Amino acid sequence: MSKTTKIPRILKINQIDGWRINVVFSNGEYRTIDFEQFFKKHNFSADPLRAHLLDQAFFQSVALHEGTLRWPALLQKIELSNGMTFEVPFDLDPIVLYDHSTPDLNRDRGVPVGEVLRQARKEAGLTQEELAKRSGTTKHYISRIENHHADIEVGTLQRIVELGLGKQLEIQVK
């Protein structure tokens, strides 16, 4: 049985900032594509069709279509083997986009549960060991949470906050 590799597709464009586009891929990663470097590496200025993207106003007309980036106003001619030709909007392969992107560390960090827990524990004047004992877990687990080495389930977090810290857990989606 062969394992199929799932191609990461773009789910959302978060931001367009100059020549950089921040996106979310289907594998859950937030990534930044720096098109200034991409254009130089692939010599876009030498191709009359792709050179249109060097105009920043035109570049920013990018749209998300079927998991990749597409420029609807930039039409390219495609010729089939039977001689039939038609025009389609210019797009880029999602694999190429993924390979030329870098992780967006500001967005990919996740929720700072460990930092919030450490701060609340210190404000309560508790050691990791005292908090662990009160909440029915181990010092090692509290340490792993505070240092971002362990994920935590909401129920466990609620137990640590309510039993260990004597506070109420509130989760808010903005």
- Report pLDDT for 109: 64
Nearest Cα neighbor of 20 from 30, 28, 11, 29 is: 30
Residues carrying CATH 1.10.260.40, the chain: 113-164
pLDDT in tens, 82-111: 999 999 999 999 999 999 999 988 776 667
Collect all residues with Cβ–Cβ distance below 8 Å to 156 and sequence separation of at least 6. 137
pLDDT in tens, 39-69: 999 999 999 999 999 999 999 999 999 999 9
- Tokens 């060097």, residue? 54
pLDDT band at 4 (very low <50, low <70, confident <90, very high): low
In CATH, the number for domain 10-108 is 3.30.2020
- pLDDT > 70: what percent of the chain? 95
Give CB contacts under 8 A, 24+ apart, made by 46-51.
49/74, 49/76, 49/90, 50/90
Nearest Cα neighbor of 76 from 68, 66, 86, 67 is: 86
In CATH, the number for domain 113-164 is 1.10.260.40
More confident residue, 165 or 106: 165
C-alpha to C-alpha distance for 129 and 140, rounded to whole angstroms: 8
Residues carrying CATH 3.30.2020, the chain: 10-108
- DSSP letter at 103? E
CA angle 167, 172, 174 (to 5 degrees): 155
Whole-model pTM?
0.67
